[in-house]
A and B are shown apart, each in its own frame.
Chain A
Amino acid sequence: MSSNLSLAYLMLSAILFVIGGVGVLIRRNPLVMIMCVELMLNAVNLSFVTFGKMLDDISGQIIVFFVMVVAAAEVVVGLALIVAMARRRPGATADDLRTLRG
């Protein structure tokens, strides 16, 4: 794989990461926010794989599996929270959770 191609993957990874980050910051729908977090995680996964290939190091690819597992677990917890919230207050946004502030 040429270095140009690697660079392109890394650029894509950075763009996805920024899209995810901005999404988390500006969207208020909790479901979309979770998806954005997933997007960020996968952007990082992409960069891991790319670096693993560039440096010829298998550990870059192994760690991706760990990230996926953690992401899956995180989604489970996150979706459970969202469902619980939606049941209690249908249509509530992440900002409405401000009432939980001490």
Chain B
Amino acid sequence: MVGLVWLIPALPLAGFLILVFFGKRIGEPRAGWIGTVAVALSFVTACVVFAGLWGEPEHTYELSLFEWIPAGNFSVDIGFLLDPLSMAMVLFVTGIASLIHLYSIGYMHGDSRFPRFFTYLNLFVFSMLILVLGDNLVLTFLGWEGVGACSYFLIAFWFEKDENASAGKKAFITNRVGDWGFMVAIFMTFFAFGTVTYTEFLPLSPELAETTATFIALMLFVGAIGKSAQIPLFIWLPDAMAGPTPVSALIHAATMVTAGVYLLVRVNPIIAASASWIPWMIAIVGIATAFLAATIAMAQQDIKKVLAYSTVSQLGYMFLAIGVGGYTAAIFHMITHAFFKALLFLGAGSVIHGMHDEQDMRRMGALRKVMPVTAVTFIIGWLAIAGVPPFSGFWSKDDILAYALHKSPILYVIGLVTALLTAFYMSRLVFRVFYGDARWGESAEGELANLKAHTAVDVADSDEHADEHDDAHAGHGAVHPHESKWPMLVPLVVLAFFAAVAGFLNLPFTHNLEFLNNWLEPVVGENQANFDLGAFQLTFELALSTTIALLGIFAAYMVYLKNKVDPRRIELPFFANGWYIDQSITKFMGGIGRKGFELIAMFDKVVIDGAVNGVGRATRGGASRLRAIENGYVRWYALMIGVGAILIVAFVMTQVSF
């Protein structure tokens, strides 16, 4: 049964090929069904393979299809490594992808490029599966680039609008910085081990020199922060929300952005062999990103922007987990996060769909009455991410915090503060969208003008955004929100179920209940931080987390439903503008940065190009001078032969002593 592993990526690839050649002819909605069925079959295959994997020794199975790049000592196979880690990834990637494909059939209904959307989605799933299943760094890199390209295609899917096109470019270029690190890491790995296959070099890493391991780990980390949107390369993810919402759910929340986390967990022996500051750096970058993104999320008005920054923040938690040695906690949070964040994004998509492409939370409110299914499922997602027991986010976040406390109390405290912020901004979102007064419809016009005056401090572009919508709405009157159709609701319900119960994958009470920990043992066991929480400490931590979550929800309740505090005192422009990071970059790149790069361009032109052209010119000049001696006279050649012979003889005479 495990031999079928090649079928898992092959099915989405087949779907992609069918759609890329016949997509237009197949048309809507059948193109969507083909894409969905391809991925769903892939999920079924994954389940079958999963059942088969139990019978394998150490739950590991390797399948090599053929040699891809043979070059001397260097050889790369198209081969799959199926172990507990990649199996877990494959299951949740294909599962969530199937649901999101189904959802997209409803969401993308009526789009002029409907078949192309599913072409890209299938290609994405294929690349993602190659990324997680690849048995060597190069194959993983192939998938890594594949998902990056699909991400670019899909962010800029509605490329008629300039912002969408440039958001795509921003994502692509920012990712490139990280990809550079990944590539250098691959080169270094080959240099150090002579192979890039995981099963060959990972067992050797404990013997690796510390500096080499540190360098490789550092470069892989650079790759990971690019893909997984950590400081300082997180700036592309909020802009990536320009893509269709299912894309945000699948690529920019559940799967692709977790590739960096997957990579770091995969190479955990290298991190273990590197200098001790590497895990510290990973943990600090993670917690700093988590905190920073959470503060920004508090002040966003666009429903998708809140979720985007929330994703960045949750990814920060996963990096924190890796840094403090809680590899299984990172994977655990990755899985629960995939469920609840995909759910939240799809819920947001349903809201946006129902509100006729309205994304501004200031024009929502009281939607639970008109969109009951969306509201209920969204609320489950909210409770999960806020960390309310017994929903999934509570268990995984608490798992990470337990590891953080084991490493350092400071990390733990910042983690708790971030958890408080998380509960707060998610509650704010839910209260503003589903509760309170309806701020849509005719009666809202006056209030809107009022709101606009209040939010003059906001980002310029969001105001322009609002203006456009005002004009649009003035034409055909008020918005009439409606509940979405069944292809969109089914995934919501299924995801809500998993968002609620996924926490039971890994309950901290007894060792036997830590299913995920035990399952991942063969992959990360040796390098996992090991400690035993006493019953008292465990209870204390769980109680503290619960209190924090409820506190955050209560605070949001006071601010946004009871209006005890003016929201403008919390939604500081500093946070709304994302700590002015984008603006600073723009300013820097427009001024000093540009000058610096012009200088570098000059250097390139004068020195590098100069050297290359100089070699060419020297060859040409020398040759034209040497041409003179080839004059075509036989006697001249004969003379040269004679002179040459005399010179050789003379040389031999000087060397030989008689």
Q: Which residues of A contact B (CB under 8 A)?
A: 21, 24-26, 28, 33, 94-95, 97-101
A21–B641 CA distance with the chains assembled, in angstroms? 11
- Asked whether, in the complex, the Cβ of A21 is within 8 Å of the Cβ of B642, the reply is yes
- Asked whether, in the complex, the Cβ of B632 is within 8 Å of the Cβ of A100, the reply is yes
Please give the distance in Å from A29's CB to the nearest CB on chain B. Answer: 12
Interface centre among B630, B638, B639, by most chain A C-beta atoms within 10 angstroms, is B638
A21, A24, A28, A97: which contacts B632 (Cβ < 8 A)? Answer: A97
Question: What are the residues of chain A within 8 A of B635 when measuring CB–CB?
Answer: 24-26, 28, 94-95
Interface string of B615-658 (1 = CB under 8 A from A): 00000000000000011111100110010000000000000000
Please give the distance in Å from A13's CB to the nearest CB on chain B. Answer: 16
A99–B630 CA distance with the chains assembled, in angstroms? 12
A98–B636 CA distance with the chains assembled, in angstroms? 11
- Asked whether, in the complex, the Cβ of B632 is within 8 Å of the Cβ of A98, the reply is yes
Main secondary structure of the interface of A (DSSP, over half): helix
Question: What are the residues of chain A within 8 A of B633 when measuring CB–CB?
Answer: 94-95, 98
A85–B608 CA distance with the chains assembled, in angstroms? 53
- Asked whether, in the complex, the Cβ of B642 is within 8 Å of the Cβ of A97, the reply is no
Q: Which residue of B lies closest to A93 (CB)?
A: B634
Interface centre among B631, B633, B639, by most chain A C-beta atoms within 10 angstroms, is B633
Size of B's binding interface in residues, CB under 8 A: 9
Please give the distance in Å from B633's CB to the nearest CB on chain A. Answer: 6
Q: Which residues of B contact A (CB under 8 A)?
A: 630-635, 638-639, 642
A15–B279 CA distance with the chains assembled, in angstroms? 88
Main secondary structure of the interface of B (DSSP, over half): helix
- Asked whether, in the complex, the Cβ of B634 is within 8 Å of the Cβ of A101, the reply is no
A21, A33, A97, A101: which contacts B630 (Cβ < 8 A)? Answer: A101
A33–B637 CA distance with the chains assembled, in angstroms? 13
Q: A24-B638, A98-B633, A101-B632 are in contact. List 14 more A-B contacts (CB 8 A).
A: A25-B638, A25-B642, A26-B635, A33-B634, A94-B634, A94-B635, A95-B633, A95-B634, A95-B635, A97-B634, A98-B631, A99-B632, A101-B630, A101-B631
A94–B633 CA distance with the chains assembled, in angstroms? 7
Q: Which residue of B lies closest to A24 (CB)?
A: B638
A24–B636 CA distance with the chains assembled, in angstroms? 10
A28–B633 CA distance with the chains assembled, in angstroms? 10
Q: Which residue of B lies closest to A26 (CB)?
A: B635
Can you sample 10 A-B contacts with CB below 8 Å? A21-B642, A24-B635, A24-B638, A33-B634, A95-B633, A95-B634, A97-B634, A98-B631, A98-B632, A100-B632
Q: Which residue of B lies closest to A97 (CB)?
A: B634
Question: What are the residues of chain B within 8 A of A99 when measuring CB–CB?
Answer: 632
Please give the distance in Å from A53's CB to the nearest CB on chain B. Answer: 22
Please give the distance in Å from B658's CB to the nearest CB on chain A. Answer: 16
A95–B642 CA distance with the chains assembled, in angstroms? 18
The 4 closest A-B pairs by CB, nearest first: A101-B632, A98-B632, A94-B634, A25-B635
Please give the distance in Å from A22's CB to the nearest CB on chain B. Answer: 10
Please give the distance in Å from A48's CB to the nearest CB on chain B. Answer: 17
A33–B638 CA distance with the chains assembled, in angstroms? 11
A26–B635 CA distance with the chains assembled, in angstroms? 7
Please give the distance in Å from B632's CB to the nearest CB on chain A. Answer: 3
A25, A97, A101: which contacts B639 (Cβ < 8 A)? Answer: A25
Q: Which residue of B lies closest to A21 (CB)?
A: B642
A15–B618 CA distance with the chains assembled, in angstroms? 45
Interface centre among A24, A28, A33, A99, by most chain B C-beta atoms within 10 angstroms, is A24
Please give the distance in Å from B648's CB to the nearest CB on chain A. Answer: 16
Question: What are the residues of chain B within 8 A of A94 when measuring CB–CB?
Answer: 633-635
Question: What are the residues of chain B within 8 A of A100 when measuring CB–CB?
Answer: 632
Please give the distance in Å from A82's CB to the nearest CB on chain B. Answer: 12
Question: What are the residues of chain B within 8 A of A97 when measuring CB–CB?
Answer: 632, 634
Q: Which residue of A lies closest to B634 (CB)?
A: A94
Please give the distance in Å from A15's CB to the nearest CB on chain B. Answer: 16
Question: What are the residues of chain A within 8 A of B630 when measuring CB–CB?
Answer: 101
A1–B657 CA distance with the chains assembled, in angstroms? 29
A26–B638 CA distance with the chains assembled, in angstroms? 10
Question: What are the residues of chain A within 8 A of B638 when measuring CB–CB?
Answer: 24-25
A28–B635 CA distance with the chains assembled, in angstroms? 8
Q: Which residue of B lies closest to A95 (CB)?
A: B633
Q: Which residue of B lies closest to A94 (CB)?
A: B634
A94–B636 CA distance with the chains assembled, in angstroms? 11
Please give the distance in Å from B484's CB to the nearest CB on chain A. Answer: 78
Question: What are the residues of chain A within 8 A of B632 when measuring CB–CB?
Answer: 97-101
A63–B494 CA distance with the chains assembled, in angstroms? 98
